[in-house]
Structures are given as structure tokens and as C-alpha cells.
Amino acid sequence: MTPTQQSLANTVETIQDAAGRAITLRRLNALDKLRLFKAAGPVLAQNPLWLGMATLACATTDIDGVPVPPPANEAQVEALVGKLGDIGIAAIAKALAPSPTTQSLADHAGN
């Protein structure tokens, strides 16, 4: 992990979803992802759609000031996704989406 990637992984950000909830996020690092694979189990760890939504949910560290512990099993991941709902997951996805770099913008400027 480069220093830039490492600093991004440790960045904590608070966003607000459409329901007005304050959701604090932290990008998952390699260890977090490994623990998520373990929580998902061998079948769900191979399901990219499930894993993608679980990854977004697992970036949550608190909701409205109430700490959210990292899920340790499938049921806890699903409970967290259920608590966040479509609105919370969408807000997290938007916040964690990679922003276009200056070079990327320059590459596409003429297209």
C-alpha cells in the first residue's frame, strides 16, 4: 500500500444521507477486507454483488454518533445493510466513489 493509499484508508469522513442521518465512514484497509471475507464465508465471498454492498456497509463506523462495530458474520453484515437501507448505502457509495483525477479529466477533455 502506497503512503497515499494508506492515508486514504485511515481517513474518517462524516456524511449525511437523504434521511438526515450522520454516517461516519472509514475506507476499508486490507485487514478490514480480509475480515469481511471471513465474515462472508466461502460462498458469499465469491459473490461480487453481495460483497460490494457489504463493503460499503462495513465502511460505516457510526450512525448518528452511535458506534457501529465491524460485523463478524453474515447475519451482522445483513443487519448493518438493513439498518443503512437503500438511502444510507447510496450515500456511502457516493462518498466512497473515486473522484476523477486531474490527469483523467485531461485525458477525456477532448472526447
In this structure, what CATH number is given to the domain that contains residue 67?
Answer: 3.30.2220
- The pTM for the full model equals 0.80
Please check whether residue 77 is in contact with residue 58, taking contact to mean a CB–CB distance below 8 angstroms.
yes
pLDDT recorded at residue 9:
55
In whole angstroms, what is the distance from residue 76 CA to residue 82 CA?
10
* Average confidence score pLDDT of the chain: 88
Residue-number span of the structural domain to which 77 is assigned: 3-108
**Total structural domains in the chain?**
1
| pLDDT value of position 11 | 83
pLDDT at residue 99 in the model: 74
